[in-house]
Structure 1
Amino acid sequence: MRIKMKPAGLSMAVALALAFGGSAYAQEVVKIGYSGPLSGGAALYGKNCLMGMEMAVNEINAKGLEVGGKKYKLEIVSLDDKYNPSETAINTQRLIQQYKTPAVLVPHSGGISAVQAFNERTNTLLLGYTSLPQITERGNKMTIRIPPDFSIYVKPFTKIEMDKFGKNGAVAGGDHDYAKAWTALFKQTWEASGGKVVADNPMSYNKSTDFYSGVSKVLQAKPDVMFIGGASEPTALVAKQARDLGFKGGFMIMDQAKMDEMAKVLGGLAPLEGSVGVLPLVADPRPNAKLFVTNFHKANPDRDPSSEIALNYTAVHATAIAMKLAGSVTDGKAIRAQMDKAFKTLPPENNPQEIEGLDAKGGTEANVLMGVVENGKIKDVSLRDTNAGK
């Protein structure tokens, strides 16, 4: 006997089928973790990193992510670590255990080091946003270094500043781990180039907003060049304090700080005249960068994209491609094994700073540009085009 189902009953049956069989229709969610500074002195830096990740996820989800014949939706789970490595370790363990993240992005060297104590054991891909070469030299097979190695900057930066201003250099950088590594190489390179380090007074960029006493102490040694650097906002305040106290020399700016962001705090580039640092993305003349900046401005007309935004955006796009190539969204080892190929196959619009792939240890390789402030404008110079960078 055939039983005819009434419309109401049919609707109920469909609803129940969808409720109990929803997994056949809905996308599965894959979470990528983030632990970085979202409060405190480095908050702008941390939020820029996170913004790049979120931009990439939105684009990937809009196009659709299919891995191994199944459709997935990406989500970012972000936790504030206040630039504290111990908090980073706690956050990352939570991201792995509670949210089952196959990959976690950490944007500071101290936090990356803390996570490297256990990420291999959990087969978690660690996306490290720091240009500190040591994070890939340790042999951690599950780590990717997103920016190129910072040591490529130090020699050309030194030559430019020493030739222009003189041989007396001073350290007025941050006191966090990354700044310490930069400071050590700055001092070594400066002295090897015939210069003299006349003052060494690192300061707490992530905790202080008043740098008067620290900068005054440095200027008593009458330096020609000051090495400064941490997050952009406190770095700008250090530069402003130095100018207010009469410093006429040049600034050698650590790559964590961005001159375009510093200019917003300083009211323009004039206080940075003669300085050298990494080239702001908006000043990059290459086609990929111009395309990214144009697309970014369409959605964000009142602000410029930073390299943190761009590079972390690229890293997440590469991770999604690596998942496709690996045929898995959960196997961290398989995803890591495909990251080099993923970077090499990125579409131009997803690779604004033209990452060319990974070296044998997991660090990105690229033709990096530096910026020099001349007559109130930023001039781009390729490190590959200067003998000083070799």
Structure 2
Amino acid sequence: MSFKTKLIPFAIAMAFAGGAGAQEVVKIGHVGPVSGPSSHLGKDNENAAKMAVEDLNAKGFKINGKAVKFVLQLEDDGADPKQGTSVAQKLVDAKVNGVIGHLNSGTTVPASKIYFDAGIPQISPAATSPQYTKQNFNTAFRVVANDNKLGGTLGAYAVQKLNAKKIAVVDDRTAYGQGVADEFVKGAKKALPGVQIVDKQFTTDKASDFTAILTSIKAKNPDLIFFGGMDSVGGPMLRQIKALGIKAKFMAGDGVCTEPLARLAGAEAVNGIVTCAEAGGVMPDQQKAMDDFRARYKQKYGQEVQLYAPYVYDAVMTMATAMADAKSAEPAKYLPYLAKVKYQGVTGTITFDPKGDIKDGALTLFHYVDGKKTKMEVVK
């Protein structure tokens, strides 16, 4: 049995097998930043969405006994909230059956209102801002843990395992960056009430010169710097931290926790210095499925998974599972089934709580060894 066959769970397998007759088209929208500083992550997501749809179509997916063909409508939000709402409306106007995306919290949150108003289910594979599901939109779901867990876990780890007593915090003022930084501070203070936040600085998600804020931070002599933002900013920041001779450890969330970070920062700026967490992760019994997915992805696209691709793949398959369960691809009909879906995916078991957050979401802690992102442990 091929690995592709193994990826398809029972609920989906029951919907497969041939059959004559015209195919119904099921249109899935995918949105991510395939332009701009985070384009490597957006393309990673887009590739995985294509891979999932190709797998579904290759198996002859059927809904309620009728052959269907999944097609993707790919859109670029450039990690820009205004562009994000524009393409969200474009997908609504195109009458897509569901949406996978967006990647950034700053685009996911405003776009979610547009999907909700149209009654179109949305699964984000990457957005971690608690605000996304706090809106109580019954169309909004995510397959990764949110910033409450991610930031809080990192904050506790910083003071308990890295022995940080004096911490400086920098965020990029996006919904994601600010949110994860705030939760980090809460987690650190809860774990060690006496911890000192010696400096708080702000930048943007397009900045490249951090001399002023890092000079201020250096004067405070922190044990650790926490950054809320993406690798396209975190990498150059780490390079300048090293150039300025700042000896602090560096910690960040999943936006920085990527393979390209070492290239963006330089291996010497990350080795033994950076600890980060990815919003997601697999337990030992799931590792083979993840390794097989990564190998298949690399064979198909000629590059390593950047970050969120496995979660995109599972998000598409989860949506398809709900359609099969509901015997319909109509949003209003399969939405209730999506809320109670159970899908065994590459990243583990996917089920949602009443708000649309994944149940028992995992986090994976990483550091960098010889310029390579290296797993430390999975935390649930």
TM tier, shorter chain? Answer: 0.7 to 0.9
Summarize deviations over 1:83-112 as a string: whole Å, max 9, x none. 221221121111111x21021222222222
Query: For the Cα contact (< 8 Å) 1:281–1:305, is it kept in 2?
Result: no
- Are the equivalent residues in 2 in contact too, given 1:281–1:289 (CA < 8 A)? no
1:277 aligned onto 2:272: no
CA displacement 1:331-352 (0-9 Å, x = unmatched): 213222222554x233xxxx22
What pairs up with 1:102-121 in 2 under 5 angstroms?
102-104=97-99, 105-121=101-117
Distance 1:209 1:374 in 2: 22
Contact 1:172–1:218 (8 Å) recurs in 2: no
Q: 1:239 to 1:101 in 2, by over 3 A?
A: same
Tell me, yes or no, if structure 1 residue 263 matches structure 2 residue 262.
yes
Name the counterpart of 1:188: 186
Contact 2:134 2:355 (8 Å CA) reproduced: yes
1:150 match:
147
Shift of residue 217 of structure 1?
3.0
Tell me the distance in 2 between the aligned counterparts of 1:120 and 1:39.
Answer: 26
1:298 aligned onto 2:299: yes
2:243 matched to 1:244? yes
Please give the TM-score of this superposition, normalised by the length of structure 2.
Answer: 0.84
Structure 2 SS opposite 1:164:
coil
Within a 5 Å distance, the mapping from 1:370-385 to structure 2 comes to: 370-373=364-367, 376=370, 378-384=374-380
In 2, are the aligned partners of 1:144 and 1:363 still within 8 Å (CA)?
A: yes
- Does the CA contact (< 8 Å) of 1:136 and 1:361 recur in 2? yes
Whichever residue aligns with residue 144 of structure 1, its letter is: F
Distance 1:283 1:355 in 2: 10
Map of 1:39 onto structure 2: 35
Which SS does the other structure have where 1:153 is aligned? helix
Q: Residues of 1 paired with 2:70 and 2:256: CA distance?
A: 30
Q: 1:257 to 1:334 in 2, by over 3 A?
A: farther
**Which segment is superposed worse, 53-62 or 32-41?**
32-41
Question: What is the DSSP-based 3-state SS (H/G/I as helix, E as strand, rest coil) of the residue aligned with 2:29?
Answer: strand
How many equivalent residue pairs? 352
What does 1:268-347 align with in structure 2 at a 5 Å threshold? Answer: 268=267, 271-278=270-277, 286-301=287-302, 303-329=303-329, 331-342=330-341, 344-346=342-344
Cα distance in structure 1, aligned partners of 2:150 and 2:279:
14
Name 2:16's counterpart in structure 1.
Answer: none
1: CA distance, partners of 2:271 / 2:335: 40
Aligned pairs for 1:16-95 (under 5 A) are 25-95=21-91
Distance 1:269 1:313 in 2: 33
State the one-letter code of the partner of 1:55. M
Residue 347 of structure 2: which of 339, 353, 357 is its match? 353
Distance in 2 separating the partners of 1:294 and 1:35:
24
1:159 counterpart = 2:152: no
Please say which of residues 60-69 and 228-237 is displaced more in the overlay.
228-237
Aligned twin of 2:199: 199
TM superposition shift of 1:379 = 4.1
Alignment of 1:205-224 (within 5 A): 205=205, 207-224=206-223
In 1, are the aligned partners of 2:147 and 2:183 still within 8 Å (CA)? no
What is the CA RMSD across the aligned residues, in angstroms? 2.6
Q: Which residue of 1 aligns with 2:132?
A: 135
Question: Amino acid of the residue matched to residue 166 of structure 1?
Answer: A
Moved more, 273-282 or 124-133: 273-282
- The whole-number CA distance in structure 2 between the counterparts of 1:110 and 1:95 is 18
Kindly tell me: are residues 320 and 271 of structure 1, through their superposed partners in 2, closer, same or farther at Cα, counting changes over 3 Å? same
TM-score (norm 1): 0.82
Tell me: CA distance 1:127–1:25, structure 2 relative to 1, closer, same or farther (3 Å): same
State the percentage of identical aligned residues: 23
The unaligned stretches of length 5 or more in structure 1 are 1-23, 385-390
Per-residue CA deviations over 1:336-379 (Å, capped at 9, x if unaligned) read 2222554x233xxxx22213411121111245242243765734
Aligned ranges 1:224-235 → 2 under 5 Å: 224-235=223-234
The alpha-carbon deviation at position 25 of structure 1 amounts to 4.6
Unaligned segments of structure 2, at least 5 residues: 1-19
| Alpha-carbon offset, residue 46 of structure 1 | 1.7
Other structure's SS at 2:229 match: coil
Please give the per-residue CA displacement for 1:228-283, whole angstroms capped at 9, x wherever unaligned. Answer: 14222322221121122112221111122224231233343762414322259999
Moved over 6 A (4+): 280-284
- State how far apart, in whole Å, the 2-side matches of 1:199 and 1:308 are: 31
SS in 2 for 1:144: strand
Instruction: Give the distance between the partners of 1:298 and 1:269, measured in 2 at CA.
Output: 30
